[in-house]
A and B are shown apart, each in its own frame.
Chain A
Amino acid sequence: MGSIEKDKAFVHPYMPNSVPAVKQQMLDELGVESIEEIYKSLIPDDLLYKERLNLPEPIVNEYELKRHVMGILKKNITTEDYVSFLGAGCYRHQVPAICDELNMRGEFLTAYCGDTYSDHGKMQAIFEYTSMMGELLDADIVSYTTYDAGQAVSSAFRIVLRVQAARGNARRAVLVPSTMNPEIKSQAYAYCRNAGEIVTVASDVKTGLMDLGDLEEKLRDGSAAAVFYENPSYLGFFETQAEEIARLAHSYGALCIAQPETASLGIVESPMNLGADLVCGDIQPLGMHMQFGGGQAGFIACKQEFELAEQFPTYMYGIAKTGKEGRYGWGRAMNYRCSHGSRENANEYFGTETGLWGITAGIYLASMGPQGMYELGETILQKTNYAIRRLSEAGQITVNLFGGANFQEFVVNFDRTGKAVKEINQELLKYKIFGGKDLSEDFPQYGQSALYCISELTLEEEIESLKNALEEVTGGKR
């Protein structure tokens, strides 16, 4: 096989200079016969790949490409086709049309790392996102978006480890609840392994809440850099001892990190006001489609404290004055912290993360406003509690295993049915229902349990169909 250029011309719509006459002009300008001549002068012969790439033949027209790609994607069954009760870190919420409309704008969609002067609008949109998150969280400093909540939590752990080191403390442990999101926990473990250790605090067997006795025990030896909690917990219940956890952490010289659910914050207090030093989490609920898990994006926030801020690893977009009153510009602030500027001397590595989702979350928050966020939180609470009540009447199942107050998720235990969650979920598919996330592998101590999720979009009739289906699948009414 020779080089393509010697064969019949392959003129492609994405490659204007594939037109032979144009290509020839450019080659003439360079005084070479072929492109091959250029790269053969650079790359040793034994490194050249001389075969034809083992890829399928091209589909160059859009019609056939669309038939092909959509033909594959249509094999999927979506949460619009079936009723979904899945959450566990990825949530189905209403996505306002203007979120989709605006993040499809070519200017936002295809901009990249342009800065203060070329991308003034992008910079303002990012600052507005962090400003609105600041209001939602009651925090003065909000990071640029991270890959996901797992990255935000992992970096928050590294931040507190560096803060403690900078204070001259040999504190290397981060204490986490035993009910922590297992995906995030494994991510944090891998991310922090060389810098510290993650220590699990016991939970109360009945309520699932953090066992404060065990927490204090683990704080007492002074090895803890911080205590972390989720609110609501991964398993859906509120951690009602939030203030006490922060107080205990501080009384033993540790910091407190909290992960709230962003969709709850219109009605639930921000951990910032309950003593937390760092708050982190995910903005996927704020205007991002689930996208098979691709809509995730994380944040880290804190008060206006230098000690914490200088340990952030992400970009932070600072507002800057100009010569004109009331006219602002923006730029990357305190950038020596980041690996793009400081390589191995940076706080942590940093890369292309999830900027478009930050801008989208800003659009969402501006559209929802305080009343919308309140109603979102309230509606989810009401529908969740309603679902718990209705489902509690169904069959041999234990609904809301921990019995406390919940936000959007609750554990359903199937032990009395004699069936595994796996089987039940398979059977629910026949009713066009995606049952809750199977917890039996990650939390064997809770037996055959599943995590069910309700959102503002869940309809009463959908709860009824779930109830009916569960009754049939688990062998009739109670």
Chain B
Amino acid sequence: MGNIRIDRDFHEARWDEPIIMELGNPGERGVMIPLASDKVRECVGSGEDLVPEGLRRKKKPALPEMSQMQVLRHYMRLSQETVGTDINIDIGLGTCTMKYSPKINEQFVRSPELTELHPYQDESTVQGILEIMYRDQEYLKALSGMDCVSLQPSGGSQAIFANVQTIRAYHEANGEGEQRDEIITTILSHPANPGTAATLGYKLITLYPDKDGLPDLEALKASVSEHTAALMITNPEDTGIYNDRIRQFVDTVHEAGGLCVYDQANLNGVFGITRARDAGFDMCHYNLHKSFSSPHGCQGPAAGAQCVSEKLKKFAAVPTVEFDGEKYYLDYNHPDSIGKLRKFYGVPAVLVRAYAYIRSLGPDGMKQVGELSILNNNYMLKKLLTIPGLSMPLAEGKFRMEQARLSWEKLTKDTGVTTDDICRRIVDYGFQDYFASHHPRVIPEPFTPEPVETYSKDDIDEFVEAFRSIAKEAYTNPELVKSAPHKAALAAQIDESCLTEWDKFATTWRAYKKLDDTD
């Protein structure tokens, strides 16, 4: 107990690996493929001859030519210069739910029983995966209280997109498609809400927090009208403040004829404690890679779930998976469906992990996930708020749900050290950099940690002490923090203008070389 190290002499692997485009030698091979036999070659001729004239490649692609060991070594080194959840206390990336991804689940999705399945195989030959998808749908219904679940979405944002498509389909079916062209969201809801709504052509109305840190109910009442298509809202928002007036929000929008959509990216703290449908929502979505334990994979593959109430069932994304008592099948029979969102049927590996995760926890375990993430968070906040220069604006003194948005504003005023400086410095302590805030930064110098249920009390203590140490540095030796990182793989700050100025912009090595030549 209490065995934490705050005096680690952490040093990230620093390999200074060259860009792969400069490695290898002409003629080296990393892997061979099974070639056509002599018989086949004699029968059909050379590849060149089989490509119509005008489509033959004139110049071979300038890919690296490397042997296998050298490719492996290069990427092993790059992996060592990456801070995944497996090797750090990943509390800093709030809103991202960086929980433990069980290794046993990885074995399932790496098995040929999943990896070697083609999506167009006859349904009789894919009963296993369909059964898992069907059961996932049933479990998500239980967790959300909704009546229909589609596992089509490729990620959380695409699930939100599906919900906006459903809003459109619903109002069009009622003959109000043109008239209802406004979507209301809040500034502290995930940017995918306004992002998806605008992608489908909706006008956005954004609510800001009132003095209690909650979206302004009076502003909502003033915003709804016969133009309101829907409310899209997160609860708790990224502040971790639970909106206890949520039913009034829902009622206000329903009275105006709009739909209510619950963004449940922040699901982790409400598992088994409160459900979307019970608060009157018409739809919600889940990020299956977050709350349901899939590894985040350097930003995907992810998966999402679209969950809708009975009246919106006919609009849900297809296919869903159904069971006729004997066999599982893909059901495209949702007559007014918004259609498909991606090729095939969602992201099955994430769906298998979600299944195994729910099965390993059961009803009490799932609720305990919610409870412990709330306990962990409030315990962490109590400790964090003893750090000089750090505060928790909005609804001060109130408990939070599973995460919180804090502010280094005072520390910045006192020392000149900003949240961006601290975010670089924390890497020197062996932690992933943290999530400050989505934009715009409503709370100044923000910091959004989320200590999910898989972190121990000791982990939380160590995390807190690292920030206490940095705050101390800020007050005594601010330059140390401002010039960070020092112990990361990249221990020098980049020229940010390369990312903002077009004449320095390069997303490939060939583009960079061209810029470099004209320097």
Contacts and interface: CB of A to CB of B under 8 A. Distances in A.
A408 B161 CA distance: 34
A259 interface: no
A49 B272 contact: yes
Interface string B476-508: 000000001100111011111011101001111
B453 A381 contact: no
B502 to A, nearest CB: 5
A346 B360 contact: no
A351 B367 CA distance: 28
A4 B368 contact: yes
Interface stretch (A97-105, A166-174, A215-223, A246-254): A97-105
Interface string A136-147: 101111111101
Contact of B56 (A79, A141, A268): A268
A269 to B, nearest CB: 5
Given A116-B494, A304-B514, A136 B115 contact: no
Interface in B88-122: 90, 93, 96, 98-102, 104, 106-122
B79 A183 contact: no
A110 B295 contact: yes
Contacts of B345: 292-293
Nearest to B164: A349
B19 A131 contact: yes
Interface stretch (B35-43, B220-228, B409-417): B35-43
Contacts, number: 737
A443 interface: no
Nearest to B458: A16
Interface stretch (A83-91, A391-399, A412-420, A469-477): A83-91
Interface in A16-64: 16-18, 22-23, 25-27, 29-30, 35-36, 38-39, 41-44, 46-49, 52-60, 62
B283 interface: no
A327 B492 contact: yes
Contacts of A267: 47-48, 51, 56-57
A405 interface: yes
Determine which residue in A148, A297, A349 has the highest number of CB atoms from chain B within 10 A of its CB, and name it: A349
Given A267-B56, A460-B40, A351 B298 contact: no
B323 to A, nearest CB: 13
B165 A190 contact: yes
Contact of A322 (B112, B300, B493): B493
B300 A121 contact: no
A444 interface: no
Given A187-B341, A434-B121, A369 B64 contact: yes
B374 A35 contact: yes
A178 interface: no
A374 B60 contact: yes
Interface in A52-81: 52-60, 62, 65-66, 68-70, 72-80
A469 B421 CA distance: 68
B6 interface: no
A205 interface: no
Determine which residue in A117, A119, A240, A334 has the highest number of CB atoms from chain B within 10 A of its CB, and name it: A117
A467 interface: no
B52 A367 contact: no
Given A77-B121, A333-B500, A351 B55 contact: no
B338 A290 contact: no
Interface residues of B, number: 215
A100 B116 CA distance: 13
Given A70-B111, A363-B71, A131 B201 contact: no
A446 interface: no
B83 interface: yes
B365 to A, nearest CB: 5
Contacts of B401: 39, 42
A124 B298 contact: no
A58 B511 CA distance: 53
Nearest to A35: B371
Contact of A351 (B192, B435, B494): B192
A187 B399 contact: no
Nearest to A345: B198
A458 B366 CA distance: 45
A456 B47 CA distance: 13
A291 B79 contact: no
Contacts of B106: 104, 109
A40 B369 CA distance: 16
A382 interface: yes
Contacts of A370: 60-63, 65
Given A57-B362, A102-B76, A77 B125 contact: yes
A118 interface: yes
Contact of A273 (B58, B102, B206): B58
B61 A135 contact: yes
A339 interface: yes
B298 A112 contact: yes
Contacts of B254: none
A460 B167 CA distance: 52
A270 interface: yes
Contact of A381 (B47, B142, B197, B435): B47
Contact of A57 (B12, B344, B363, B506): B363
B203 to A, nearest CB: 8
Nearest to A137: B61
Interface string A104-126: 11111111111111111110111
B256 interface: no
A17 B114 CA distance: 34
B343 interface: yes
B78 to A, nearest CB: 4
A372 B50 contact: no
A153 to B, nearest CB: 10
Contacts of B156: 351-352
Contact of A65 (B17, B338, B349, B360): B360
Contacts of B44: 381-382, 385-386, 389
A118 to B, nearest CB: 4
Given A267-B51, A294-B348, A306 B57 contact: no
B374 A102 contact: no
B325 interface: no
Contacts of B99: 14
B295 A109 contact: yes
Determine which residue in B45, B82, B155, B369 has the highest number of CB atoms from chain A within 10 A of its CB, and name it: B82
Given A132-B64, A294-B349, A344-B204, A352 B122 contact: no
Interface stretch (B126-134, B307-315, B467-475): B126-134
Contact of A382 (B47, B198, B427): B47
B119 A292 contact: yes
B342 A187 contact: yes
Nearest to A119: B82
B518 to A, nearest CB: 11
A43 B274 contact: yes
B47 to A, nearest CB: 3
B363 A386 contact: no
B93 to A, nearest CB: 6
A187 B33 CA distance: 34
25 contacts: A4-B368, A10-B365, A14-B102, A16-B459, A18-B368, A49-B273, A49-B278, A78-B117, A90-B118, A102-B76, A104-B110, A107-B82, A111-B82, A120-B490, A125-B78, A187-B342, A266-B60, A269-B58, A297-B300, A322-B490, A340-B195, A349-B192, A353-B299, A372-B33, A434-B121
Nearest 4 pairs of A and B residues by beta carbon: A351-B157, A293-B344, A378-B47, A339-B195
Given A16-B459, A333-B498, 9 more contacts: A7-B364, A14-B361, A292-B345, A293-B343, A320-B496, A322-B494, A340-B438, A343-B204, A359-B75
